[in-house]
Structure 1
Amino acid sequence: MRLTTSNARGASFSYVTLTLLLWMHCCHIASIFGQESALILVENTEGGEEEEVRVDEDEGDLDAVQPTEDWQTLKPGQAVPAGSHVRLNLQTGQREVRLGEQQLKYWTQEHGEAEETQSSFSPDELKRAMKKIQEDMNPDSVAYKYRPLEELKRDMAQLELLVETDAQIMRRLLTQFNSSNSTTEQRLNILLELEYLVHQVDNAQTLCSLGGLQFMLEGLNSSDFRLQESSAFVLGSALASNPVVQVKAVESGALQMLLTTLATAQPFQVKKKVLFAVASLLRHFPYAQRHFLSHGGLQVLSELFRADGGGVLRTRIVTMLYDMISEKELISQAGLDLVLDASHEERVRQYSMVSLQEELLEKGWCSLVPQLLESTEHDYREKALRALLAMAPVCLEQYRSDSSLLGSLLSLRDQYQDMAQSEMIIGDENSYFAEIVELIDALEVKMK
């Protein structure tokens, strides 16, 4: 049954009339199924109107249709289960049926329970799984602590991920760095990644075995100061506390290259990173310290010290000299109390060949270091006082004859005594300024 309206009849065919006709039609449907039905008017989005009828009855012996969750056409004389939705399609004039809300909910729950039942495990499978879990969770088992590398690679391969060791990463980065297609920005990013990796001792040694040390030295000769700075940074990080890399660097001529870079006109940032690399190469390595002195290293540093007006490079130079003096003294003092083994005796012998104190006196450092006391930075002054105390065995005569040094010590002592007193008032037990006063007092005692 299809109802249409036209413009000519629209005025006379009222809403009440349309409702009455639909109600009569639903009564006809209800008479077929033997009980009342609920009538609902639903607006059709394509124009016109359609009705939806909710029918509740038993199927009996009639030709019954099995509704689904989609609308399907209901043939004449067919019965539907109780709770189904029945509607009259006003466009086609045919009745349609689908599952009611309660039926659909029950069908969904029943379907989900069936899937859960199908996916359940047998008792034997559950026992085996629980036994496997208990074995893997045993803290003493190897499987609990580690997983085989091949198993990890297989799992990663399934996830379409590439597993690379640090050595493979560094090899790839060096290949990209040496490629003629790489831009300066790409090379800078590669150096940044390498600097992060070489903080591990093994990675730094692997980088050298892959030829990376030569790439860093070539970077120091680059015309781009950014590549020079980054190359020196990677080199210094690889050298730090790594004797294997220190030996290879000396053998490859890295010390001469670094001193040449410091002696030529370079931007401040480049010299700062190169100075870091020099300090890393010399620390706890008497063989390199001896070569440093024989190649005019102190002369290069003295020129750099005089040219630095800001005090940053001066402080780094003085700190490096202090470290070299202190580590030699510690080695000598340890030899007085301990039973020396062969390696310790060799280190003592090597340090005895480093005449650093005499070189400092000869190159004028006894008058250079006191200049750092003129800085306004407390940290710079502290570093200078520690270096002056370490150099005192060879510099006392010059200290005593240096009137400006005596005046600076008196002025600094009064200043830091007041600051230390202020720290004590506020209850600071570990007074930084009191420590500086102690350094000044110790130096004055030596100079008397």
Structure 2
Amino acid sequence: MNLFRLKSLLSFLLFAGLACVYVSAQEDNDLICPPEGGDCYPRIFVATEKFQEVKPGQDIVPGLHVRLNFETGVREAKLMTSEDAEDDNSAVVVVEEGESVTVISSDEKTGQREAFTEEEEERDRNIWGQFSFSHKPNPHISLSDHQEFERNLAYALTVGLEEKAMYTEDDDSTSELTKSSYDDEGPDALLLSALKNIEDFAHEIDFGIKIADPDTITSFLAILGSHPHPQVRALSARIIGSSLRNNAPALDISAPARVVNHLISALEAENNSDVHSRIMFALASSIHGRYGRQEYWSQKGGATLRRIFFSDGVSEDYIGRCGTFVEDSFVDDMMNLHQSTSSEQEAEMQREMGLWCAAFQDALAQDKIVSTDTREKIFSALSAIKSRYPTYCPVQDSFRSWISEKMVQRGALRKQQHSSDTKEKSNLLAASGISESTLNSDAEIKFLDKLSGARHSLFGNPKARRKAFDEL
């Protein structure tokens, strides 16, 4: 479905979903009488072969051709005919319960993704023909959830590609609840609300598969790369990541969209630290696809990640995610079971792991990471690289010095825990540079114990490990 068709579908669904209709019915429930006065009309819409206005509150039976006429702003419906689907000036989409939605518009704004080469198109055809998946839809997902998902998706993909929201505070079709949300969060309030709802749905495999449709996920990638609101970009990245995470069918379906390529480009252009972290989440989810790793190498993804890793103002959350990403996506043997690795690819992997080994040692040796959790992630990734690629992960002098300093702190902590002398405790803390918060942190002590265990076995002389027992 192209952008115009999504925009058209959105407009219908949004008007249908947001309009607050107040009606009062007669006792027989067959008629609706407007509270402001006027003629009553049937509760069930009576269709003919010509379009007629669907009045507020009327129920539409399945199978009708429904449209929103942009010229009049009126919702109309008629009996469905075979010619309706051939109208090039309208978008016909079959939704739940067989209802067909058409929106008439004379102004079509296209948002085409960049053209693919013949070789790329051939590869896409091979992807769809070569990889099949079997997925049984979840019968426990309610019809209302499907409708809510489609409504939010249509809105997000239309408004998200525009520079400003569709509605303003003066828009009569905006409900009081919507206006309140708009006042609190600004012109992107509706879009943010829709994206949050989509993210909630995206964790479900069925909805993830729908988001993974190449046209749909390409639209989210476009929002991620172009929308001026950082929270919109962050939510778009989370939707991409949630839809592909642990969802094998979605990964195969999204392959033609080159998700990893686009994520690396978005990461390179991004300047918001929170969005950096969200893109890392999406990247960790998408790289497990059939072509994810090849795209990562071709885009020089490692160089982009490391540039941000050492940039000023980078968040510790992003630093930690880099550690987890490298360990889970490249060091773990399970990630390579279904792929054959050439000597050239193995050489590239060894070089890449060597660069990350140096980066992680530098990050720890600078001793500027406050979060124990972040240090845990970086040290875990570094240890994994050193275990698997020992030749390509030489230990730096600055890192050895840092470990030695941490062992001094660990010894002081252990002595302090067994000392009853208040003055002695204070002297131990002052000599080791340990803060009061660190002193009472069980996580910090556990991290130092782990560091002590790996100090000689991984990062020093194994024969010197005997000396480590004296420090226990």
Structure 2 match to 1:255:
260
d(CA) in 2 for partners of 1:382, 1:312: 12
Q: Alpha carbons of 1:170 and 1:385: their partners in 2 closer, same or farther (altered >3 Å)?
A: same
Residue identity opposite 1:262 in structure 2: L
Structure 2 residue aligned with 1:438, among 440, 453, 471?
453
Give the gaps of 5 or more residues in structure 1: 1-149, 151-162, 333-343
d(CA) in 1 for partners of 2:413, 2:351: 37
2:151 equivalent to 1:172: yes
d(CA) in 1 for partners of 2:155, 2:243: 20
Look up the SS of the partner of 2:143 in the other structure.
coil
Structure 1 match to 2:340:
349
> Are the aligned partners of 2:241 and 2:283 in contact in 1 as well (CA < 8 Å)?
yes
Structure 2 match to 1:246:
251
2:271 equivalent to 1:266: yes
Give the gaps of 5 or more residues in structure 2: 1-96, 98-141, 160-165, 168-186, 420-439, 464-472
CA-to-aligned-CA distance 1:61-85 (integer Å, 9 cap, x gap): xxxxxxxxxxxxxxxxxxxxxxxxx
d(CA) in 2 for partners of 1:421, 1:396: 37
For residues 18-57 of structure 1, what are the structure 2 equivalents within 5 Å?
Answer: none
Structure 1 residue aligned with 2:380, among 381, 386, 402?
386
Residue identity opposite 2:304 in structure 1: V
Residue identity opposite 1:410 in structure 2: S
d(CA) in 1 for partners of 2:353, 2:244: 29
Structure 2 residue aligned with 1:325, among 318, 326, 330?
330
d(CA) in 2 for partners of 1:445, 1:219: 48
Q: Alpha carbons of 1:403 and 1:208: their partners in 2 closer, same or farther (altered >3 Å)?
A: closer
> Are the aligned partners of 2:214 and 2:256 in contact in 1 as well (CA < 8 Å)?
no
Q: Alpha carbons of 1:417 and 1:386: their partners in 2 closer, same or farther (altered >3 Å)?
A: farther
Residue identity opposite 1:169 in structure 2: E
Structure 2 match to 1:369:
360
d(CA) in 1 for partners of 2:216, 2:328: 28
CA-to-aligned-CA distance 1:252-286 (integer Å, 9 cap, x gap): 0221221111112421122121111111112x446
For residues 278-297 of structure 1, what are the structure 2 equivalents within 5 Å?
Answer: 278-282=283-287, 284-285=288-289, 287-297=291-301
Residue identity opposite 1:223 in structure 2: P
Percentage of matched positions with identical amino acids: 19
Taking structure 1 as the reference length, the TM-score comes to 0.52
d(CA) in 2 for partners of 1:322, 1:423: 34
Q: Alpha carbons of 1:415 and 1:248: their partners in 2 closer, same or farther (altered >3 Å)?
A: farther
2:413 equivalent to 1:409: no
2:239 equivalent to 1:234: yes
Structure 1 match to 2:228:
223
Look up the SS of the partner of 2:310 in the other structure.
helix
d(CA) in 1 for partners of 2:143, 2:410: 55
Look up the SS of the partner of 1:349 in the other structure.
coil
Look up the SS of the partner of 1:434 in the other structure.
helix
d(CA) in 1 for partners of 2:277, 2:208: 21
Q: Alpha carbons of 1:225 and 1:419: their partners in 2 closer, same or farther (altered >3 Å)?
A: same
Q: Alpha carbons of 1:316 and 1:203: their partners in 2 closer, same or farther (altered >3 Å)?
A: same
Structure 1 match to 2:203:
199
Structure 2 match to 1:213:
217
d(CA) in 1 for partners of 2:245, 2:145: 19
Greater length-normalized contact order (CA 8 Å, ≥ 6 residues apart):
2
Note the C-alpha offset of 1:317.
Answer: 0.8
Note the C-alpha offset of 1:249.
Answer: 3.2
Note the C-alpha offset of 1:241.
Answer: 1.0
More helix by share: 1
d(CA) in 2 for partners of 1:299, 1:227: 26
Look up the SS of the partner of 1:444 in the other structure.
coil
Note the C-alpha offset of 1:297.
Answer: 0.4
Residue identity opposite 2:201 in structure 1: L
> Are the aligned partners of 1:417 and 1:437 in contact in 2 as well (CA < 8 Å)?
no
Structure 1 match to 2:171:
none
Look up the SS of the partner of 2:291 in the other structure.
helix
d(CA) in 2 for partners of 1:307, 1:165: 46
> Are the aligned partners of 2:237 and 2:278 in contact in 1 as well (CA < 8 Å)?
yes
For residues 65-104 of structure 1, what are the structure 2 equivalents within 5 Å?
Answer: none
CA-to-aligned-CA distance 1:24-74 (integer Å, 9 cap, x gap): xxxxxxxxxxxxxxxxxxxxxxxxxxxxxxxxxxxxxxxxxxxxxxxxxxx
Q: Alpha carbons of 1:187 and 1:351: their partners in 2 closer, same or farther (altered >3 Å)?
A: farther
Q: Say what the alpha-carbon RMSD is for the aligned residues.
A: 3.4
d(CA) in 1 for partners of 2:218, 2:307: 28
> Are the aligned partners of 2:331 and 2:385 in contact in 1 as well (CA < 8 Å)?
no
Taking structure 2 as the reference length, the TM-score comes to 0.50
d(CA) in 1 for partners of 2:335, 2:452: 28
> Are the aligned partners of 1:233 and 1:276 in contact in 2 as well (CA < 8 Å)?
yes
> Are the aligned partners of 2:406 and 2:448 in contact in 1 as well (CA < 8 Å)?
no
Note the C-alpha offset of 1:432.
Answer: 5.1
